[in-house]
Every structure is written in structure tokens, then in C-alpha cells.
Structure 1
Amino acid sequence: MLHTISLDKFLRWTVITLILAAVFFTLKALSEVLLPFFIAWLLAYLLYPVVKFIQYKMHVTSRAISIILTFILIIAIIAGIVFIIVPPFISEMEKLEVLANKYIQSNTHSNNIAAMLKQWFTTHRFEINHFLKSRDFTDAIKTAMPQVFALLGQTANVVFSVIASFITLLYMFFILLDYESLGENFFKMIPRKWRSFSRVLASDVEKALNSYIRGQGMVALCMAIMFCIGFSIIDFPMAIGLGILIGILDLVPYLHALALIPTAILALMKAADTGHNFWMIFGGALLVFIIVQIITDMIITPKIMGKAMGLNPAMLLLSLSIWGALLGFIGLIIALPLTTIIIAYWKRYVTKDEEVIKNK
């Protein structure tokens, strides 16, 4: 039996589709401006239970003081993690400096790097003077100037990032200050006939986000433990600190790949310290990365995230790829909860899946 679609229904769905498309492209165009607010909202959502615990369980009368105490607690935790990771890394850098000075002393007539550079410039001053007057140097300057301006632009971006971080903290403070009233006032802005659906949708988003945060937290914890064990087995420098760092990075899916940079630096330091081949040491660390990634993707993520979000591994990877390509960093954060909600609502309202309707 064919179902006819009335002109009114067709126009209504067309308008809704156009509005959703306009909202999506507006959000994408304003993503850089909205990113601090979105991050602040997400952090406020994560910290709200702590603020509520401090205010009501510890009988702190002022919400502002509860927020400040929460910030102090988070800063203390971050400082503890930094204390675990940074001092060993500085120690490794000091070892590298000592090894570099020993190498210079054994292969040159200088006592340290500064003396070696001074001796080199003194020995080659005529060649350097000739090169500075040559056309090759002029061409090199012309080529390098755009790179210098690009570097200055990157420096400006760092300054803007610091300002954005400060703005994010302000956003987060004021969101936490009026957390309950903000949510209630938001629903009052929605037309009455849509309020009931909006509350159900918000509840579903909260449930999906809670499931995602708990699941991803468990995945990150498992990954941190496996990396700590793997690096300890191969006697890699800073095994525990590096494992913890990778676990923290993995709170955002696949961001732990950035840890390959400090891993390469630590492998270089160990090679200089022990005299072993750098590629053998770095290869061992890469092998740990590969083994842990395979275990995570094949066993841990499907078991934990698949169960928490109701998605199979292929859908997990596909949703991360699509939303990451569309919305970048924000997309990686919202990919799994948003995909879960879209699939659930599609089954509920489009395909009329009875099982989903009953669960709802």
C-alpha cells in the first residue's frame, strides 16, 4: 500500500531540512568562535558533579567558592600528572647534554657546544663571509622570508590560543555558576509543542554522552596500563610517565598518535646514552604502539565502547572519520554520542522500530 505525502507535510519537512542545513553551515563557519564556548560547556558538564558534591555534600554555601575549589582540585591533579611526566623528561635532556659534551670533547678540541661553535665560526669565517655576499645567500633570504612571516603568524596564533583559553575558563565559570537555570531557561525559549520532545532529546543526549565519557575513560585507562607495561618490558625511558601521557591523550580518540613525537625523542636519548642503534630502540617502541593499538581496536574498544554506545567497530570508525572530517576536533568529541542518537531516532521515527520505541 502506497502512502501519499501531502503538500503541507512535504513543505514542512523541506523547511526543517533547510533550517538544519543552515544551522550546520552556520556552526561550521563560526566553529573557531564557538569552539571556546563548546569546550567550556563540555568541561562544565564534566565538572558539574564535582561542584555539586563540594557545594552540597561538603556544605559550602557559595556556588562561586565551590567552583573555585573545584578549579583548585583540577589544577592540583594536573600538577601531579606534570610532576610525574616532566622531571624525568628534563633528566633525560640533561643526560643528552652531558653525552653531547662528551662527544664534542672526544672528537674536537672544545669543552662544550658553545666553544665548539665559536671554534667552527673562527675557522670558517672567510667561507662564511663569502657565502653571505653570494647570490645564493640572497636567494635563500628571499625564500626564507615568507617562512619567517609564517612563523610570526604561528606565534600570534599561540597568543590567540592563550586568550581563547582564558575566555574558555570565563565561560566555564559562568556556566557552572548558573548551570541549573541555564538549562531551564533554554527549554523556555523553545515553543511549547516542541518542549516535551526537546526534553526527551536532551535526556537522550545526556545518557549518550555519559555512556561515551565512561566508555572512553575506560578505554584510555586500559591503553595507559598496556603502554606502561609494554614500555617497561622493553626498558624504554619514562615508561610510566609516557604511558600515562598516552592514556590522557586517548581521551580524544586516536589523539594518542601525537605521543610518537616524545617517543622518538626518548628513543634518541636512550640511543645516545647506551650506544645502541636508534632504529632498534624506536622500532621496539613502535612495536608496542602497534600491539596495543591492535588489542585496543580489536578487543577493548568493541567490548567497551560498542556495548556502551550500541555501535559495532566498523560504525565506530566510520562515525569518527565522518564527523572528524566535517567538524574537526569538535567532530571527534561528539561523533559517537551524536551517531548513537541519530541512529536511535531514525529507528524510532522513520523505520518505526518497535524494539527501539519500547526501550525509549
Structure 2
Amino acid sequence: MDIILLFFSAVFFAYLLEPLCSRVEIICNSRAIASLLAIVFALIVLTILGLVLLPLVESEFQKLRERLPLMISVAHGHLMNHLNGLNIDGHADLIGNLKSKVLELVSNYKEKISEYALSFILGGTNIVLDALGWLVIVPVTVFYLLKDWGKILSNCKQTLPLKLEKIAIVVASETDKKLKLYLKGQFYTICTMAIFYSTALFIAGYENWLSIGILSGLLLILPYVGFVISMLISLLAGILDLGFVQGPIATIIVFSIGQFIEGFLLTPKLVGDTVGLHPLAVIFSLLIFGSILGFTGLLIAIPITAILSSLSAQALRSDFS
């Protein structure tokens, strides 16, 4: 486990728990006890969620994964029938090859899992170190970060030159406000849309309505890309469950309504206005951070861009004031 990842994970969790820790400190009048109680509370919540939700979600995604080859085969059959009716030459080999490639990719999924499991078994030391890092090092680091949060901020402030101190405080305050509003907005948006998609797909008659609904909500973390992925999966499931005509129609209706709710009602009010980024800035930040850091870059692109936006805006104000 990369020690840098452990450290930044601990900083992130401490940042999330700091408001709770400060409120508990008012009651118990001890920062150390408040830090410990905040961590215990977070662990209890995560444990309950893991015991209750994970088995259910895992079962649903297992069903979805097992049905993927059948979804692809059914979609292929319907598509071939329609193309045959149009008398288009050369389409059979192309569609057949595409189907074979996709089915091969899906069938290799189990083999990949077996390979990863074998590599983990052979590298047992890494498993122990990873578990030790997440179960011991991260909680301990979070505890000391929470306990000395005020001292850490004070020391950072003292290391700054007097000329930069005022600007740094303004930028830090503005960035902190934006990040907290962004995280809160993303959480509410994901939960709301997961409930909407699950309910709408259940009403439409999808067998895997829960797994697709939860996945569609979670993939909102990846703007634009997540929507396309979840819609394609829903389209395949719709063709299998509802037919080649009703399935795509139901998918288009559900995801059009969902996109309207998420894009015009939730995101602008809960996320967009708080971060204050133009859509082009969002797209380019995703491309840049994604190309540099991969999947992790897609997750942190918007928050980091918001921080850089605050820094540049404050720098311009200070130059022209």
C-alpha cells in the first residue's frame, strides 16, 4: 500500500470528521475524547452499512454480472433481425465479431478475479500490510490529526510570511467552504438519484432495478462518463426484460427524466453554484486529471479545480487591488 495514499486518505477522513469532533468537544470538553468518539462513531456507521447494505448490493451485482452475456446475446439477436430486414451487406460479420469480443471480455471477468486472488495469496505480506495500514495506521493518523487540528492550522499559519498570511486565510476559508458544500451536494445528489433510478426502473419492470439504480447514482461521481455507462447497462437490461422496442423506450424515458432532475434541479443548486465552474472547465479538468492520474484523477478533478479557481481568483484580486 502506498504510504502517500494512506496519508491523504487519513487527511480526507479527518477533514470530514472535524466538524463532528468540534461539536462533541463542546459537550465533553476534551479534544482527545471528542476525536476518539468521532472515529468510533464513523467506524460504527461504516460497519452497520457494510453488514446491512454490502450483502444486498453484492447479491444484486452478482445477478447483473451473470445476466450480462444473456443481455448481449439477446441484443445481438434483435439487432441482427432488424439489419437483415434492411438488406445491408457486410453487417453480419462486423456485428458477430463485436459480440464475440464483448462476450470474451465478460467471460474473462471471472478469470481476472481468479488471477487477482492468486496474486493476493502469493503476496500474502502485501495483504497483511494493506490491512494493517487501513485498520491501524489510518485510524491512528486520523485521531492525531483531529486531536491536534487547531495546532496544525496554527503552525501552518505561522510558517507563512506576513504578506501572504491574510491572502492565505481568505483562500483557505473560501476553499474550505466550497469543498464542504461540494461534498455535501454530491452526497445528496447521489443518494437522491440512486433512489429515483431504482424506483423508476422497478416501476418499468427491470429485474435488476436495484443494482442498476445504485450504480447509476454512484457513477454520478464521474460527470458525463458515468451517465453514459449506466444508461448503456440499463439499455441492455431493458432489451432483455422488456423487449427490443419497450426496453430502449423505457431506458430513454427514465434516464431523460433523471438527467433533467440531476442536471437542471439538483446539481446546479447543490453542486454547481457552490463550486462555480463553467461546464468547459469541468470537461477539461476531467480530461487533464484523468490522463495524469487515471480513475483517481476523475474523482478529484472537480474539487482540485475548484481550489485552483479560488487561488487564481484571489491572486488576481490581490494584484489589481
Give the TM-score of the pair, scaled to structure 2: 0.62
> In the alignment, what sits opposite 1:308?
274
Given that residues 301 and 313 in structure 1 are in contact (C-alpha distance below 8 angstroms), is that contact kept between their aligned partners in structure 2? no
> In the alignment, what sits opposite 2:45?
77
Q: Distance in 2 between matches of 1:93 and 1:348?
A: 49
> In the alignment, what sits opposite 2:168?
198
User: How far 1:206 sits from its partner (Å)?
Assistant: 0.9
> In the alignment, what sits opposite 1:322?
288
Larger radius of gyration: 1
1:254-310 Cα distance to aligned partner (Å, 9 max, x none): 7967996xx79xx6xxx8xxxx68999997996556763575346643454321111
Name the aligned partner's letter for residue 164 of structure 1. Answer: G
Q: Distance in 1 between matches of 2:222 and 2:256?
A: 18
Q: Distance in 1 between matches of 2:271 and 2:289?
A: 17
Q: Distance in 2 between matches of 1:302 and 1:152?
A: 46
> In the alignment, what sits opposite 1:183?
153
- What's the % identity of the aligned pairs? 27
Change (3 A) 1:152 1:187: farther
Given that residues 194 and 214 in structure 2 are in contact (C-alpha distance below 8 angstroms), is that contact kept between their aligned partners in structure 1? yes
More off after superposition, 212-221 vs 69-78: 69-78
Q: Distance in 1 between matches of 2:249 and 2:47?
A: 30
Q: Distance in 2 between matches of 1:220 and 1:336?
A: 16
Name the aligned partner's letter for residue 314 of structure 1. Answer: L
Given that residues 55 and 62 in structure 1 are in contact (C-alpha distance below 8 angstroms), is that contact kept between their aligned partners in structure 2? yes
Q: Does 1:331 align with 2:297?
A: yes
Q: Distance in 2 between matches of 1:92 and 1:196?
A: 51
Given that residues 211 and 308 in structure 1 are in contact (C-alpha distance below 8 angstroms), is that contact kept between their aligned partners in structure 2? yes
> In the alignment, what sits opposite 1:343?
309
1:142-189 Cα distance to aligned partner (Å, 9 max, x none): xxxxx9987644554971543332322222121112111111112222
1:8-87 equivalences under 5 Å are 32-56=2-26, 59-82=27-50, 83-87=52-56
Q: 1:164 aligns with which of 99, 118, 133?
A: 133
User: How far 1:352 sits from its partner (Å)?
Assistant: 7.9
Q: Give aligned pairs, total.
A: 267
Name the aligned partner's letter for residue 220 of structure 1. Answer: I
Name the aligned partner's letter for residue 296 of structure 1. Answer: E
Name the aligned partner's letter for residue 134 of structure 2. Answer: S
The secondary structure found in structure 1 opposite 2:28 is: coil
Change (3 A) 1:79 1:164: closer
Given that residues 60 and 210 in structure 2 are in contact (C-alpha distance below 8 angstroms), is that contact kept between their aligned partners in structure 1? no
1:203-229 Cα distance to aligned partner (Å, 9 max, x none): 222122123213222321332222222
Change (3 A) 1:255 1:210: farther
Unaligned residue ranges in structure 1 (runs of 5+)? 1-30, 98-146
1:86-165 equivalences under 5 Å are 86-87=55-56, 90=59, 152-155=118-121, 156=123, 159=127, 160-165=129-134
Given that residues 9 and 138 in structure 2 are in contact (C-alpha distance below 8 angstroms), is that contact kept between their aligned partners in structure 1? yes
Q: Distance in 2 between matches of 1:292 and 1:46?
A: 29
Name the aligned partner's letter for residue 310 of structure 1. Answer: G
Change (3 A) 1:91 1:302: closer
Q: Distance in 2 between matches of 1:79 and 1:200?
A: 38
User: How far 1:44 sits from its partner (Å)?
Assistant: 0.7
Taking only aligned residues, the RMSD between alpha carbons, in angstroms, comes to 4.6
Higher RCO (C-alpha under 8 Å, 6+ residues apart): 2
Give the TM-score of the pair, scaled to structure 1: 0.57
